[in-house]
Chain A
Amino acid sequence: MSKELIRLRDLTMEFDGERILDGINLYINDHEFLTLLGPSGCGKTTTLRIIGGFLTPTSGTVTFDGKCINDVPPYERQINTVFQRYALFPHLNVFDNIAFGLRVAKLPKEEINQRVQEMLEIVSLKGYGHRRIQSLSGGQQQRVAIARALVNRPKVLLLDEPLGALDLRLRKDMQIELKRIQQAMGITFVYVTHDQEEALSMSDTVVVMDKGRIQQIGKPEDIYNEPKNAFVADFIGESNILDGVMLEDYKVRFFGRTFQCVDKGFAPNESVDVVIRPEDIDIVAPDEGHLVGTVTSVTFKGLNYDIIVEFKGFKWLIQTTDHCAEGSTIGIRLNPEDIHIMKKSEYSGMFGDYSSYSAEYDELTEDAGDEEE
């Protein structure tokens, strides 16, 4: 694709003896939209702040265009940031906020004027220049923050949960808007979020983080379809994760049955984690199924039903557009490409069991994520 712009090498970060980042290695290409995704406390914001120059890593190096920038202060980096909760200057109006960086750089007045106006247009705030920051809605403040950063034409824009404070509808609009701006201006975006949907829909590359370590780097499709471990499988979308044994290449055994699959390269009889996405499961009549189970709960989600089905004491989540009555017995079929095999990891057994499933599950985890910093 394009050339490498930023590289993080063996980054570690410690606060009061607590390890926040543990050996981060990552490169970011020019013009790339890269997302750091993970739950709160995973180190994604810390990583972003190190790139921005607000934190100095305990060890490891940050290089920008081939040069180490560990000791370069933020004001000398060709990087701008859109802060969580925006950090707009309350004593300045919209125009002056956006013009801030250009005035510091002592650009000619006409050029400042022209670039700010141009930026106001890009973020659809034309005519808002004289408004006070306090009189703007959250979405408008958000766009001022983006304009204030982008007007400096940075090489890299860092965005720290920029849409976290907006409501769902506005968030969706802004996601499209941000992607459009990124493509139109050809700037590298490094985006931090705990929202997996946001990460998947906007990014060229997704970096999934947990406990200060990178769990997986890849294209959104690869992350979703080929999660590396139980954490990634669970964090990105919903997953049923089961214990299985890889008998040989393309053959996996779980629930006392041998299934065809598309994975290979495991040792014979290696125990593995088996991931089955809830939307990949076909519901059939009980006598036609590979497995037969009982529906224990049904939740209407709009697009589909979330149904919990019990198989031999283990509960699965299945997403289906067909209604199944609670208490009914159904059969399911699994095609080889529906089954994804992962190596065992420290996360094995921690995720992918829906025995304690409740409809509020999603909202609860999202709330927890919002509290970061």
Chain B
Amino acid sequence: MKKNKSVLLSVPYMLWMLAFTLIPLCVVGYYALTDPDTGAFSLGNLQDLSMYLPVLGQSVLYSLISSLICLLLGYPVAYYIAHRGPVAQKILYMLVMLPMCMSFLLRTLAWVGLLQDTGIINNILDAIGIGRLQLIRTPGAVVLGMVYNYLPYMILPLYSTLVKMDDRLIEAAEDLGCTPLQTFGRVILPLSVPGILSGITMVFVPAVSTFYISQKLGGTDTVLIGDLIERLFKQGDNPNLGAALSLVLMLLVFVCTGIMNRFGGDEEGGVVI
């Protein structure tokens, strides 16, 4: 009886999922597997994707680099926050979340203002005699945009893993002869693995499918999969090819999360996506 009722509670969401996720997914699948001209079943779109392999590789590369930078920047911060008093923790947590209260588009546009050739940074560089540099439309700018936008997604899971870590384990390591550095390598880092994995996943997944960041901050040679898909759909070029590309991207994300979950599978504390 009780069980039946709780099933009812999930019905609205089930319908939502069906209407706006599952059916569109089928539509994407249909487009991906049909010929744009004849409408007949075809694997042609998937075969055509091979020419986009470099773009795919570039997307994965940029996202991995961004994830890594986020990890290097985020870990110390997360560690610092996790070892403050309860009030300080709440305040710092809020500060980490704060950028997420602003529009993602606005934040990225703000970087354009900073980095562009006549932007604030270049004006300052010019004024102090260094001269203007090519900042925008570079791979570095794209990675910067990714790191800037997704850093909170790295810090939060790391923080939640680190804050749960028993301080006595650290004391135990010191007691058994570990210097602070050895304590980190032998105890703290291995125990943070679930947080690291879920942080990387949470940065990598949105980064690999982004299009806005690369459009605004990147140049003609920093096209990512997200850009391609957008172009194929929006400019009406070839929605069938776009659908196929989406499918591949989705597969990539699934594989990534799968790998991450497998590695962190038997550990507790990770955020499951």
**Chain A residues within CB distance 8 Å of chain B:** 52-54, 73-75, 79-81, 83-85, 87-91, 100-101, 104-105, 148-149, 152
Report if B176 contacts A (CB, 8 A).
Answer: yes
A90's partner among B173, B174, B178, B191 (CB-CB below 8 A) is: B191
A-B CB contacts (within 8 Å), total count:
59
- Of B9-17, B116-124, B182-190, B213-221, the one contacting chain A is B182-190
**Centre residue among B169, B177, B267 by max chain A CB count within 10 A:** B177
Report if B172 contacts A (CB, 8 A).
Answer: yes
Q: Which residue of chain B has the shortest Cβ distance to A160 in the bound complex?
A: B168
Q: Which residue of chain A has the shortest Cβ distance to B171 in the bound complex?
A: A54
Report if B37 contacts A (CB, 8 A).
Answer: no
Chain B residues with CB under 8 A of A80? 175-176
Smallest CB separation, B186 vs chain A (Å): 7
Give Cα distance in the complex from A100 to B185, angstroms.
12
**Chain B residues within CB distance 8 Å of chain A:** 166, 168-169, 171-179, 182, 186-187, 190-191, 193, 267
CB <8 Å contact, A81 and B191:
no
Dominant secondary structure of chain B at its interface with chain A:
helix
Q: Which residue of chain B has the shortest Cβ distance to A101 in the bound complex?
A: B176
Chain A residues with CB under 8 A of B169? 87, 89-90
B171's partner among A87, A91, A101 (CB-CB below 8 A) is: A87
Q: Which residue of chain B has the shortest Cβ distance to A132 in the bound complex?
A: B266
Chain A residues with CB under 8 A of B178? 75, 104
CB <8 Å contact, A75 and B175:
yes
Chain B residues with CB under 8 A of A100? 173, 176, 186
Q: Which 10 pairs from chain A and chain B are nearest by CB?
A: A101-B176, A87-B168, A87-B172, A74-B174, A104-B177, A81-B175, A91-B190, A75-B174, A75-B177, A100-B176
Q: Which residue of chain A has the shortest Cβ distance to B168 in the bound complex?
A: A87
Chain B residues with CB under 8 A of A85? 168
CB <8 Å contact, A87 and B182:
no
CB <8 Å contact, B191 and A91:
yes
Give Cα distance in the complex from A79 to B176, angstroms.
9
Chain A residues with CB under 8 A of B173? 89, 100
Give Cα distance in the complex from A88 to B267, angstroms.
15
Give Cα distance in the complex from A186 to B108, angstroms.
68
New A-B pairs, 19, CB < 8 Å, besides A80-B175, A90-B169 = A54-B174, A73-B174, A75-B175, A75-B178, A75-B179, A83-B168, A83-B175, A87-B168, A87-B172, A88-B172, A89-B169, A89-B172, A89-B173, A89-B191, A90-B191, A91-B191, A100-B176, A104-B176, A104-B177
